[in-house]
Structures are given as structure tokens and as C-alpha cells.
A and B are shown apart, each in its own frame.
Chain A
Amino acid sequence: MSTLVLLLFTGLGLGALYFLVAAGLSLIYGLMGVLNFAHGAFLTLGAFTGWEIARRTGSDNWGTFLLSLVIGAAAGAAFAAFTEFVLIRRLYQRHIEQVLVTVGLSLAAVALFDGIWGTDPVYIQGPAWFKDTTEILGARIPNDRFVCIVAAVLVLLALVFFLQKTRYGMIIRAGVENRSMVTALGIDVRKAFTLVFTIGGAAAGLGGVLASHYFGYVSPMLGGSLLIFAFIVTVIGGLGSLTGAAIAAVAVAVLQQFANFYLGGTGDFVVVLALALVLLFRPTGLLGRTA
């Protein structure tokens, strides 16, 4: 029983990270049709920025941790806004060029991070409470899992509130459904594009700081390794669906953890298999439109 609970909470913590990356990916694709391969770079920059804050101000306290979350999210948001405004804005409707630019940016960003912070992982420490465990049904759950889960739930609630209760949220929901009709109502949809990129970048940056505590280190490849699973989550959840991304993130991560433990480390294979099954039998994903 304790193993099941431990795997479940470990999966939920990892799912929280997947969700923080996939939320932005899903909204960006849903609204703009852009497959953003540079999204992992937003996460990595957030993680390194958070690490720099922790390194310079002392990592073993909650104040520094919360500050690193804010600065990490801000760094991800700024990088994403820059990417949309400078690189992507000229390439709407040109999908091949978008892929080339975002792939190129992700490679350039990794090289830049290598140059600044080196190729080796840098290790990070958070508040002492993170290293402790909490016992649930006999399982000793590392506390940093709870932090990831709570942060992801708060981000989900904030995004749902934003999408449902604000005018820009309404524009984004409408734009995901029919972008040209939003324009034909006299709305400058480009502002919504920049906003969605920025929000997605902020969530990824926040995810980067949390991922660095979850894994205990930051490396230039951190974003790329999470991005692969975030793409899978986005497709399984349904492109453009935030709720779908949340459900799929949890499902993928928990499935991955259980398969790794019970099926001899086949977690990644099982996730890819799940993706193939979804594409075969439900190509719209759980809650979205056609993948």
C-alpha cells in the first residue's frame, strides 16, 4: 500500500511539472497554431534564474524560495514575450518556418546556457522542510512533491479564473475556437497572442524553479527533457484545452511512475504507447480539437 501511495504522489508531483509546461504549450497551439519547440528553454531559463537567486541570497529559507519562484516566472515570461514579439509574430500562418525558428531557438538557448552556466548540472537546495518527508498511509512522501502539486493547482485555478472571468480570457477562448472571427469583430488578436505566450512562459519559468527542486539540480537540458513529455500531455489532453492538459499531465506522470516501478523501467515506453493509442482512437485528445 505504501508503495502505491508513494508512486501516486511522486507521479502527481511530476504531473504538476508536466502541467506547468503543457498549459502554455496547449494554449499557444490552441490560439495561434504554433508548435513551440522553444518552450523548454523558457523553463530552463526560469530554473537557472531561480538557482541564481537561491545561490546569491541563501537557499535555505522560504523567502528566497518564494522570490526565486517569482523571478523564475518573470524570466520565463520575459523570454517568451521576446520570442513572440521578435521571432514568431512575423511567421503566423507559416508553420514550417515557425518550427524551424523555435527548434533553432531551443538549440541556441541550450548553447547559451552551456556557455553561461556550463554543461554540468548545478545542484540546488531549498528550505530544509523540502528534504523532510510526510507520512501518508505508511508512505513517506518527500515534501517537495507537495510544493509542486500545490503550485500547479494554484496556477490551474488562476488560469481558469483568467480565462473565464476576464475579457482577455474570453478573447483567448474565442480565438482558440475561431481566430479569424475574433479579428472580424474588431479585436486585435495579436495582443492576445503576446499575452498567451507570456503567460505560458511564466508558467514554464515557475515550473523550471519547481523542477530544479524536484530533481535537485538544474542543467541546460532540463527544459528539453520535460518538453517531450509536455508535448505528449498536450496531445493526449487535447490541443487548446487547459483542463485536458491538467488531466493528461496527471495521467501520464502517474502511469509513467507505475510502469517504471512495476514493469521494469518501461515508463517512457508506456507513455508513448498511450500517446499512440489516443492518436489512433481519439485523435482530438481527451478534451480538445483534432491533433
Chain B
Amino acid sequence: MSTAAESRATEPRPVLRVESLFATIAGQQVVEDVSFTVPATGITALLGRNGVGKTSTIKAIIGLIDRAGTVELDGVRIEKEATFKIIRSGVGYVPEDREVFSKLTVAENLRLAERDAAPRRQLVEELFPDLLARSAQMAGTLSGGQQQMVSLARALLNTNKILLVDEPTKGLAPKIVGEVAETLAEAAKTVPILLVEQNLHVVRQLAEGAVVLSGGRVVHTGPALEFLDDAGLIQRHLGVSTDAAHSGNPAEKGAAL
């Protein structure tokens, strides 16, 4: 029988390790002693009720808000680096609410995100042919779904060690939600993803692992399906019924989601 230490030694190194992460916004603690790892393959979901600190955790990892603790990317400490250096070291960030530059064209939004010597324009054109047709259009005039495509495309243009994707389906029509999920599944074949997502149907479809936050702390980690199939855990940590978790219909998920 192998020991726990031996078992850890044989496990592949996680692409992201977060240890005792604390973060504040305007002096208020929004992330408190959060620790978890993201494996080097597949999609890991970061779950929790509204306001528990999921978005803040993502922002703290890349230094967009004040933070303390340890953050390791592929074995390298990055918690003291400036945001732009963390991104350049191989992090793709898809923010909540898209945050496209509304007064720049689609083409300019994409050009701005190119940081590799040979950005993967062909991949982006294949994944988002609609954006090619709209390259001269101001990003602010795009629909929510199209803006999400721009936001995803910006992250996929470069070769990354990890993608941090924050609520990519928020506010989108069901058809577009499906397209976004397909894109993420495709992207996850080549790069690990830490995904903040409220739509549990999408989580069920995509995620292999789950990290659950409550009150700014990690309260559960493990396989995503194991969590989603446990009615008690879902009710306790997300405040929704398993029916809602299976349906993915926000209307069934109540105010908590």
C-alpha cells in the first residue's frame, strides 16, 4: 500500500496552487484563507453563492485587487508580480461581464490582446467566424453573446498555462450558453480552465473538479459530479435544490443563484 506522501509525489503537479489567499477591496475582506489547487488538465469549477468571493478570488490570483498569501503558477510563485507580468507568464483572463472595450472595434479588441509572437488568429477565426465578419464593428454595439465571444477570443489568442473564466454564460440566451459551453469544452482540450459559473447545468457538462466557497472560504473540494449529485451539499453551499442543479434553469435556482 502506498503512503499519502508517495501518492502526492506521483500526482502531476497542479498548474495553479493557491495557499492561504486573503484579499481585500477598499479595506473590506472579501477572500479569507482560501486554499485550493487546479490540475494541469480539464476544467475546475469554482462554485458558491453570490457574493462569496469567487470573482474576488480570480481577481486576487492575477493581482487586480490587494491580496496576501501564496499563488503558484506551474510551480512559480507569482503573488508579488504585477498583473501584466502574471498574464504574460501564461494566464488568460475572461472577466465577468465581458469587459470588452466598447469604443474599440472587434479587430482592435483582439489586436490589443495579442501578446505572443505568433498569436493563434486562425484558431480564433475557426471558433468565432462571426467575429471575423464583424471585425470593423465597435465592440460596444455587439450583443451580449457576441461580446462574450470577443472576451473568450482575447484569451484564446495566446498560448496560456491556464484560463481563468468568470461567469461566461451570465445573462446569455440558452442557445448562446450552449455555444459558449462548446467553446470552453474545445479550449479545455489544450489548456486547463478555472471556471466560475452559476449555471450548474454547464458545470455538470464541463467540469471535472469543483472548489466550493462559502463566506470567503473553501468549504468543499472534490470531483464536480460528486458534489452536484449530493443534494445536501448543493442545498447547504449553494442554496438550491438538486432539480435546479440538474436543469440549469436560472429561474428554478432561486435568488441565491
Docked Cα-Cα span, A186 to B116, in Å, equals 10
| Contact yes or no, B95 A184, CB < 8 A | yes
Q: Indicate whether A173 sits within 8 Å of B101 (C-beta atoms), given known contacts A184-B64, A185-B154.
A: yes
Query: Which A161-185 residues sit within 8 Å CB-CB of chain B?
Result: 167, 170-171, 173-174, 177-178, 180-185
| Residues in A neighbouring B103, C-beta threshold 8 A | 173, 177
In the complex, residue of chain A having the shortest beta-carbon distance to the beta carbon of B164? A184
The closest CB in chain A to the CB of B101 belongs to A174
Looking at the assembled complex, report how far the CB atom of B1 sits from the nearest CB atom of chain A, in whole angstroms. 46
| A186 and B115 form a contact (CB under 8 A) | yes
Known contacts A184-B64, A185-B154; is-contact A170 B83 (Cβ 8 Å): no
A178 to B115, CA, bound (A): 18
Query: Does A188 sit within 8 A of B, measured CB to CB?
Result: yes
Minimum C-beta distance from B119 to chain A (A): 12
Cα separation A173 to B103 with both chains bound (whole Å): 8
Of residues 239 through 283 on chain A, the ones whose CB sits less than 8 Å from some CB of chain B are none
Interface assignment of A187: CB less than 8 Å from any CB of chain B: yes
A160 CB to closest chain B CB, in angstroms? 14
A residues less than 8 Å from B84 (CB atoms): 183-189
Q: Do B108 and A170 touch (CB < 8 A)? A: yes
Is the Cβ of B95 less than 8 Å from the Cβ of A170? no
- Bound form: Cα–Cα A170–B139 in Å: 14
Asked if A186 and B87 make an inter-chain contact with CB atoms under 8 angstroms apart, the answer reads yes
Main DSSP-derived SS at the A contact region? helix
> In the bound complex, how far is the Cα of B62 from the Cα of A177, in angstroms?
20
Chain B interface extent, by class = 20 to 34
B134 within 8 A of A: no
Q: Which of A171, A182, A185, A187 has the most CB of B within 10 A?
A: A185
Which of B82, B83, B99 is close to A178, meaning CB atoms less than 8 Å apart? B99
Chain B residues whose CB sits within 8 angstroms of the CB of A174 once the complex forms: 101, 104, 108, 112
Closest to A191 in B: B84
User: Which residues of B lie under 8 Å from residue A171 when comparing CB positions?
Assistant: 112
Known: A170-B104, A170-B111, A174-B104. A186 touches B88 (CB 8 A): yes
Q: Report B-chain residues with C-beta under 8 Å of the C-beta of A178.
A: 99, 101
Residue of B nearest to A186 (CB): B87
A181 with B95: in contact, given A187-B112, A188-B84 (CB under 8 Å)? yes
Report B117-160 residues with CB < 8 Å from chain A CB: 154, 158
In the complex formed, the residue of A with least CB distance to B116 is A186
B104, A185: Cβ atoms under 8 Å? no
Contact indicator B112/A177 (Cβ below 8 Å): no
In the complex, which residues of chain B have a beta carbon less than 8 angstroms from the beta carbon of A173? Answer: 101, 103-104
Query: Is A177 in contact with B101, judged by CB distance below 8 angstroms?
Result: yes
Interfacial residues of chain B within 24-78, with CB under 8 A of chain A in the complex:
62, 64
Q: Does B102 contact A (CB under 8 A)?
A: yes
Enumerate 7 A-B pairs (CB-CB under 8 Å) in ascending A order.
A170-B108, A173-B101, A177-B102, A177-B103, A186-B113, A187-B112, A188-B82
| Chain A residues in the interface with B (C-beta under 8 A) | 167, 170-171, 173-174, 177-178, 180-189
Which 7 A-B pairs rank lowest in CB-CB distance, beginning with the nearest? A186-B87, A186-B88, A174-B101, A183-B83, A186-B115, A181-B99, A185-B113
